[in-house]
Amino acid sequence: MEHLFDQDWEIVPAGGATGEAFFAQYQEQKLFLKRNSSPFLAVLSAEGIVPKLVWTKRIESGDVITAQHWLNGRELDPDEMEEERAARLLKKIHSSRPLLTMLERLGKERFQPEHMLAELETGLDFELLAHPKVREALHFLQTDLPNISHDEYVVCHGDVNHNNWLLSDNNQLYLIDWDGAMIADPAIDIGLLLYWYIPEDNWETWLSQYGVPLTDNLKLRMKWYVVSQTLLSIQWHKGKARFHEMNHWLEYLHSIV
Closest CA to 211 of 81, 88, 79, 48: 88
Amino acid identity for residue 25 in this structure = Q
Q: How far apart are CA 81 and CA 89, in angstroms?
A: 11
Burial bucket for residue 141 (CB in 10 Å: 0-12, 13-18, 19+): buried
CB proximity list for 139: less than 8 A, separation 6 or greater? none
Active site residue 216: no
Which secondary structure element, helix H or strand E, spans residue 114, and what is its range? Answer: helix 113-123
Amino acid identity for residue 35 in this structure = R
* Among 144, 159, 177, 179, the one annotated catalytic: 159
Rg, the chain, Cα only: 20
Q: How far apart are CA 234 and CA 84, in angstroms?
A: 31
By annotation, the residues acting in catalysis are 159
